[in-house]
Structure 1
Amino acid sequence: MTPQVVDLAFRLTGSDLPTDHGYFLFAAISKNLAPFHAASGWGIHPVRGTPLGNGTLALSKSSRLVMRLPADDIRRAIPLAGKRLDVGGRTVRVGVPEIRPLRGARHLFARFVTIKGFADAPDEFAEACMRQLDNLAVREYRIGVDKRRVMDVKGYTIVGHSVRLSGLHEADSVLIQERGLGGKRKMGAGIFVPIRPEHA
C-alpha cells in the first residue's frame, strides 16, 4: 500500500526571503536536517508572502515552510522545528508544525513546473506534462500552461512555467499532489495545490 502523503506546515518567523528562494531554502534545510537531501518523495512548497518588486518577498504571520512528504516520514522532519535558517543571506526561524492532509480538488495550480528539455516552447512543454499525467493514469483533465518563470540554481537558470489543471477526479487530484510533475520538487517546483474554480 502506498504511504499517505501530507503537508507538514512549519510556522516561519522573519522579515523576508529572496523572491527566488527555491535553491537557497533547499540548501538551508539540507544543512540543518540530515535526512532531507537523500529523502525520497519529499517536496517543498514555495513560501508565500508579498513580493516587494526588488527580488524580495516580505513574510507575514501566515507565511509557512511547508514540506510535502510521506506521513511515515513526519518524525524525520520534526527536528527542523526551532532551527534558524540562513536562506540566501536572510535569517528565518522555523516554528512548530501542523499536519495538513491532502484533499482532492477539481482544480489544481503549480506556480513553477520544470521538465528538462522542454523549457521555452509552451506547446511542447504542455505535451511533456501530459505524458507525465498519462504515466500516472490520470483520466480526465484540462491543462493550461501559464507564465514562463525562471529559477536560479548555483548560477544556472532553470526555466519552467506555471501550470493549471482543471476537471480532475478526486483520486487523480490527490495523486497529482502526491507525485507532482517535473523535477526540482525539493526546490519548490512541481508542487500542486487546490485553487478555487474562479481561478482555474
Structure 2
Amino acid sequence: MFWQEDIKQEHFTLPEAIQDAVFSIRTKVLPIDHAYPLSQALLKHLPWLAKVNAGVFDISVADGNGWEQDHESGFYYPSKRSKLNIRIPKERFGDIATLAGKILDLGEYQIEVVKALEPKLMSDMQIVFAKHITCDENASEEEFLQTSFTQLQALGIVPKKMMAGLKRKISTPNGIIHTCSLMVADLRKTESVTLQEQGIGAHRLLGCGLFLPQKGIDSVNAV
C-alpha cells in the first residue's frame, strides 16, 4: 500500500472527448475468462477499435448486483441489467451505434447486443479502480505499485494513495496475461479524468488498464 495526504478542492468541467458507449445485452451464460473472445467478436464488427485506443470492459460485476458467479465452474449467469461498455472517442459514437442488433460470436457462447443506451462521461471522483492492470507474474506487490507509480507519472499524475488488489489471469492464444487490480485514491479531478481517458499498461481491448470511479474503498473491495 502507498498512502499520502491530502488534496484541495478544485473547480472542474467534465470533458466529453472520451466516453463509454453502453449497450444492453442478452446472453444466458458466459465464461468468466471471456475477454479475448469478446474482443475478437467486437473487432469482426468494428475493426477500427484497434486504431483508436478503445477499451473493452469485461462483462462482469460483483455478486449481488444481478449476477451470479460460479467461480468453481468458471461461468457467469448474466441478468437483464447486464451491460457491454466500450470506451471510445466521442467522434466514433456514430460508428459504434451500428453494433446494436448484432450477435457477438464468442465460439460456444453468443451475446445479443440489444440496443445502445445513454453514454457515460468520465468521472471526476477522487477514487478510481481498475480490475486488470498487466503485470509480471512474479512481481511483488511493492514492485507492481512502483511500476504503476511510474506509469502514472508518465501521464502527469502524482499518485498519493494506491492499493494493489487481486491477481487474475486472461487467457489468449499467445499465452496467459497476468493482471492485478489497482485502486488509486485522492486524485485531483483533472488527474482522475486523465487516468480514465488514457489508462495505464497494455491490452485495453482485453479490459486491462481501464479505470472506473468508485465511491470508496468498500466498493472496491466488493469487486
TM-score, with length taken from structure 1: 0.92
Distance change (3 Å), C-alpha of 1:130 and 1:88: farther
1:72 partner SS: helix
- Which among 118, 129, 139 is matched to residue 109 of structure 1? 129
CA RMSD of aligned residues (A): 1.6
Q: Tell me the residue number matched to 1:50.
A: 68
1:35 partner SS: helix
Cα drift, residue 88 of structure 1: 4.0
Q: Tell me the residue number matched to 2:190.
A: 171
Q: Is there any run of 5+ residues in structure 1 with no aligned partner, and where?
A: none
Tell which deviates more after alignment, 185-194 or 135-144: 135-144
Distance 2:20 2:217 in 1: 24
Cα drift, residue 119 of structure 1: 3.2
Percent of paired sites with the same residue: 27
Residues 60-117 of structure 1: CA deviation (Å, up to 9, x unaligned): 11111100011011112111111111124111100211211111111111111104xx
Letter in 1 for 2:130: A
Q: Tell me the residue number matched to 2:53.
A: 41
Distance 1:168 1:9 in 2: 25
Cα drift, residue 155 of structure 1: 5.3
2:47 partner SS: coil
Counting matched residue pairs gives 196
TM-score, with length taken from structure 2: 0.83
Letter in 2 for 1:114: T
2:22 partner SS: strand
Q: Is the 8 A contact 1:23 1:152 kept in 2?
A: yes
- Which among 105, 108, 113 is matched to residue 94 of structure 1? 113
Q: Tell me the residue number matched to 2:158.
A: 139
Q: Is the 8 A contact 1:51 1:58 kept in 2?
A: yes
Q: Tell me the residue number matched to 1:17.
A: 30
Structure 1 segments, 4+ long, off by >3 Å, are: none
Distance 2:29 2:160 in 1: 36
Cα drift, residue 123 of structure 1: 1.6
Q: Is the 8 A contact 1:111 1:163 kept in 2?
A: yes
Distance change (3 Å), C-alpha of 1:90 and 1:164: same
